[in-house]
Chains A and B, each alone.
Chain A
């Protein structure tokens, strides 16, 4: 059986790692390569690095060589992928997976082409949502939370699945950086819509108990963690020690 994963989520801006709250007010939290090396030694299961500072993949390429020298685990990169070529370039330079979001909406044909070229296993489709009280439903956003989309969450996930997504990354903008816990309902709903795709939940983790809630109440394959590792002395090793008490199947080293 494939194990559940803990994935540090790193945001790249102007060559530095940052962390914000609800997709704004970003603070500097360190050097990307050094942090990746630390996460590697703390036995994280995978890394996701999202470039939020520019609309090209250049900042990712700038760190990729160094990153793959210190990181002996799968690395997923995204943010600024605007074409099939961008995705293929990242894979060729050592990324194990690419993360696409806005491209899924603007150029769906590119997504299926990426899936064909690099393989479904290397393609993570990401969705950022905010809860809309009036609508009584989640609303999908692109362009790092700046652009509101008309497509529904369900439709969005179904389309991604048909286009050849290998995994779905679902992020709650409302919970981002709040350390109040994952939106477990949101995660469960995504698993229900796409039962054949591994789901990675993001947004809100501030405590090991939040990880426990997520894994026990939603059938997600992975939890992405930002604030918890950025702003506390928590780390993947301790998180796993805690989760082991609840029979959550994690990587054994």
Chain B
């Protein structure tokens, strides 16, 4: 997928060498994991299951505590569930996703939109609030008052644009396509030790 290339290019631009992994053994060699993704929830889940079982993956990521960044669909997969698909999410961060609602709402939500930071997080260091990031999605988590919500955005309704728990962080927008501010987030992530 093209998205994988864009994320890799962004990581490389920020000074680290990305590898694409296709099985769980390769996880031993990585210090940080990014789950990218644009597409359908169910397909992504099938792809993920081809790497290893979801349960094994969750077990490794939680015990090794390597920082994990989920982008767009990758973020949704980190959560418990989505209206979009049959497969359950990984449940690394609580919550679920639903189709955004609103009168005459244009979906998918595509373009540059504001991200309002609600809580500090090391991955957001030197990133100002109310800046615009690039979004492409139709589903989102609207449970905005939950403790894992780090930033919110608005399209038809308010939704969580950044969520985090322990060594896991997810973003509904695409940092790899969001120029200066997006690259800063990628840089912060690859320098993050997973603690906060």
Contacts and interface: CB of A to CB of B under 8 A. Distances in A.
Interface of A: 1-3, 5, 40, 43, 45, 68-69, 72-74, 91-96, 119-121, 166, 196, 198, 221, 251-253
A61 to B, nearest CB: 12
Contacts of A196: 104, 106
B134 A73 contact: yes
Contacts of B158: none
Contact of A3 (B111, B154, B179): B111
B2 A221 contact: no
A93 B136 CA distance: 18
17 contacts: A2-B109, A2-B155, A3-B111, A3-B112, A3-B113, A43-B180, A73-B134, A73-B177, A73-B179, A74-B134, A92-B2, A93-B2, A96-B2, A121-B108, A166-B108, A252-B132, A253-B179
A253 B177 CA distance: 13
Contacts, number: 83
A251 B112 contact: yes
A193 to B, nearest CB: 16
B5 interface: yes
Contacts of B136: 96, 121
A120 B108 contact: yes
Nearest to B135: A2
B188 interface: no
A5 B167 CA distance: 35
Contact of A253 (B9, B135, B181): B181
Contacts of B179: 40, 43, 72-73, 253
A74 B112 CA distance: 10
For the residues of B in contact with A, the DSSP-based class is mixed
Given A68-B9, A252-B131, A96 B111 contact: no
B6 A94 contact: yes
Interface of B: 1-2, 5-6, 9-10, 12-13, 38-39, 104, 106, 108-114, 130-132, 134-136, 154-155, 176-183
Contacts of B154: 1
Contact of B183 (A3, A72, A121): A72
Contacts of A221: 111
Contacts of A40: 179
B155 A72 contact: no
B110 A166 contact: yes
Given A1-B154, A72-B10, A72-B176, 13 more contacts: A2-B109, A69-B12, A69-B13, A72-B6, A72-B9, A72-B178, A73-B177, A73-B178, A96-B6, A166-B110, A252-B114, A253-B180, A253-B181
A158 B180 CA distance: 38
A198 B38 CA distance: 20
A68 B182 CA distance: 15
B113 A69 contact: no
B181 A119 contact: no
